[in-house]
Amino acid sequence: MPGGSPVESPATETRTGLVRRARRIDRVLAETYPDATIELDFDDPFQLLVVTVLSAQTTDRRVNAVRPTLFAAYPDARAMAAAPREHLEQIIGPLGFFRAKTDALLKLSAALVERYDAQVPARLADLVTLPGVGRKTANVVLGNGFGIPGITVDTHFGRLARRFGWTDETDPVKVEHAVGALFEKRAWVMLCHHLIWHGRRVCHAKKPACGACPVARWCPSYGEGPVDPLAAAKLVKTQGPA
């Protein structure tokens, strides 16, 4: 298990040192989570866009549970845009906020039909004009649906980027740009998976499992959570959110 962290304080670390340390952390996380990928199920960019919108304020597992029924009934944007509101609400009811989410799906699908011939656009500038789609959702779709590099700054990514001392920004767009500058574009999508998986399993918001962390030696926030290996091991989750 890792010992104390010898990392320089962010105030004295050189830019070159920061880049090297950031990339070392990512390499170790890649070895730790070789199967890291998006934890939402999807078959095409439209499904990915929809399930990402639905994942707000609920868990990926719950979204995955309703996905087969949802897309069996409404497999594409044209079908979903014409869906009866009551039926759509019934399908996604288990996710919570079902009225607002139904409204979002109807507006989103209609916009895809009207503006993009029912196809999901593969440009950030186009995606963020769609109802209910911000940069985070757009980057999820670009990276995982089209293979276009993008950085998805969710709560886990932002928290870990700050704990690792990669940035002190709190605004998601500023975090996106600051962290993106430390890595080659080709690494961005997998970097997001590595940090999100680590945030869900080890580097928790309230009590990170520092004593069981594979990158503790390069983390300036080491000690925010239990450093005793046995105590830390009890905090580690073996999978993503239930």
Catalytic residue among 60, 136, 174, 237: 136
What is the per-residue pLDDT for 3?
Answer: 54
Are the beta carbons of 211 and 2 closer than 8 angstroms?
yes
Do both 49 and 21 map to the same domain? no
| pLDDT higher than 50, residue 1 | no
Are the beta carbons of 148 and 163 closer than 8 angstroms?
no
**Is 136 considered catalytic here?**
yes
The answer to whether residue 22 is domain-embedded is yes
Catalytic residue among 41, 154, 174, 207: 154
What is the per-residue pLDDT for 238?
Answer: 84
Task: Dump pLDDT digits (tens) for 50-68.
Answer: 999 999 999 999 999 999 9
Residues in contact with 145: Cβ distance below 8 Å, sequence separation at least 6, in sequence order: 42, 44, 45, 48, 49, 120, 122
| pLDDT higher than 80, residue 196 | yes
The answer to whether residue 184 is domain-embedded is yes
**Is 101 considered catalytic here?**
no
CA-nearest of 22, 123, 75 to 133 is 123
Residue 107 sits in which domain range? 45-145
Task: Check which CATH number belongs to the domain holding 174 and give it.
Answer: 1.10.1670.10
Task: Dump pLDDT digits (tens) for 94-125.
Answer: 999 999 999 999 999 999 999 999 999 999 99
| pLDDT higher than 90, residue 172 | yes
Task: Dump pLDDT digits (tens) for 148-166.
Answer: 999 999 999 999 999 999 9
Is the pTM here over 0.75, yes or no? yes
